[in-house]
């Protein structure tokens, strides 16, 4: 079943390769969407695709790359919008 998740990742997640880490995993799973840094120091992820794959990506987000420290995740589940065909870094 297709779904869309809007996720905000908090913690030490900027300047540690977090966006590249997210993009590599999301692209490898064939998910659509984007990842970008937010002004408050957190990272925003919008991932769309099969719900089980989005949930698998969320497991990776909870850990992050080696030099990151994830303190919290805020997840909002939404209906898919199919606005992008790939997963990109913004």
How does pLDDT run across 56-85, given as a tens digit for each residue? 999 999 999 999 999 999 999 999 997 888
Q: What is the pTM of this model?
A: 0.96
Active site residue 4: no
Question: Is 73 inside a domain boundary?
Answer: yes
Percent of the chain at pLDDT exceeding 90: 94
* Residue 73 near residue 13 (C-beta atoms within 8 A): no
Q: Which helix (H) or strand (E) holds 44?
A: strand 43-50
Question: Is 7 inside a domain boundary?
Answer: yes
Nearest to 19 by CA among 47, 50, 56: 47
pLDDT class of 28 with cuts at 50, 70, 90 = very high
Question: Is 86 inside a domain boundary?
Answer: no
Residue-level pLDDT at 26: 98
Question: Is 89 inside a domain boundary?
Answer: no
Domain that holds residue 6: 2-79
Residue-level pLDDT at 84: 83
- Among 24, 37, 40, 51, which one carries the catalytic annotation? 37
Question: Is 87 inside a domain boundary?
Answer: no
- Here the CATH number for the domain that contains residue 42 is 3.30.70.100
Nearest to 47 by CA among 16, 78, 74, 17: 78
Residue-level pLDDT at 82: 79
Active site residue 37: yes
How many domains does the structure of the chain reveal? Answer: 1
């Amino acid at each position: 079943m297709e779904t869309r998740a809007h996720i905000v990742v908090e913690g030490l997640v900027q300047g540690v390769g977090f966006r590249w880490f997210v993009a590599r995993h999301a692209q490898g799973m064939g998910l659509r969407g984007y990842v970008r840094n937010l002004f408050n120091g957190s990272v925003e992820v919008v991932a769309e695709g099969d719900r089980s794959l989005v949930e698998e990506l969320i497991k990776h987000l909870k850990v992050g790359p080696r030099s990151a420290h994830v303190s919290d995740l805020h997840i909002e589940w939404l209906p898919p919008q199919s606005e992008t065909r790939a997963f990109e870094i913004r």
